[in-house]
Chains A and B, each alone.
Chain A
């Protein structure tokens, strides 16, 4: 599947000029609120016609100002999950799902009813009314409904932002399962770094109406240049590792190309690949092998980039056996340690600093 989007639109005091492609899996459209993400989602789904542009899915042109094409929303085959669940209140859960099956595109593809019910865990809710469901359940039904219309692409526009943190944590695993078990490609729009770090295969980062960085999630998160867009508190590279052993003292040992990593007990099976977001502000640097310290994880590597901001801080990028780790340290420390590109260096990560919600299934 390929989605190609190239749109330009002039709002008062704001220009949107976006070009990107998306393949199978989850492509995240990331940016702060007001960056123009939702406008892009609306343009793809047919709720908004930009002044100029071209949108195609699998070569089928949905919108093109050159070719004078503007296919109406109901003939685009784009599943759309909104911020609010938008279930039809006068139908039961089953009625909502049947609506999608009835009017959606013919053929079932990967979106067979029992599979969808199973992936999203909503089989027991079929006879309930939307008003009686929790926010998380409603959003899962909304996702199932969109899937059952058999879309060629599922657009999820901030699907979790209206939910509180426990509800978010409840839904994320379902979206991960959706990514892993259904063949429908997903365009996931969010301003939340942690959601994207967990879910995305590809990331398109957007700022004030423009694409500022595009690539695999690992590459985008490892780029010190987009730290300002991610926010200093949220920046952090992704480390890929495999679960090796759950140890007796409550720690889980993971194997990464850069050596073993110990984290607080993970709810994952042995052999499973996970993706750990290591926040840049949780990483300490040392030029010598540290001894007698409490931190369990020490990763050896070389400095590959140093980026100074306006303030006293700096972001140091460390390359280690194909993994990248970002460390947020002070300008003073960079000078004191004499860090330069190519310097050998040890990154120190406290096990307990990695929260479970920063770990996604690979």
Chain B
């Protein structure tokens, strides 16, 4: 009995040892945020957007895990604030990163802000390209791609760079809600944020705008209802191809030079799609969409068309009938012409 009690006590102590720092982390992080969450106090460079930071995986570790040198007297003690090496925790990425085109050219911080970093499923296709644009100017990217890629401007504008430039062999289709910003007919469309959609949804959850029964699954019927709802006239669904898995091996896969990797109909890749809805804190949440949505002419977004890929089977049949109609004249008339050829031998 004594042994059991002793063992229980040991477990309790161990648990306390582990749990205590979590509480301490929360307190310390809050203290940090008192100053660093206020731009007027620390200035733009040292400002941390608390709403965004709190939703990163790093927030769970607390500020001091990376900035160990910060003491009670910070910043009056004059001690330089230490920064952790990303590879201390993310060692598995090092080899992949070093072997890629970014190895030796870009550090982790050049692409990822540790106070804002989110996982692949929590960001929009637009965000994905923002970090690439830090170094790769859009105009020069379009120019270099124009040398071999038809409609390079369209590809660069509508695809996350990493859809072609990482080792992810597969991709999924992500649908986003965009909205017309100006009253002009040809007004620019912007990605809808949470506040925009909340205004539209009123008291309801914004998910209910498209996932009508809120079962975390968007059926083809729900997708069609959204696309045809006259109340959402200024909103449209836009789609991007996003890598299925995240990887740091920045490269150009050989099969991406082959247009038919994406532009071939009915592939498994085109069957999987998600709706990405913006959260209040700036991240995105994905909701699964019924398989094949993007391939169905009447259900997917009216603005998403990939040549060869998302062709409509019904239109193919109508087109074929038109061509057969054109062939009826040579075949039908030609047969009668052959049978009555003697009448014209004069």
Tell me if chain B binds chain A. Answer: no
Residues on A lying within 8 angstroms of B by beta carbon are none
Report which B residues bind A (CB closer than 8 A): none
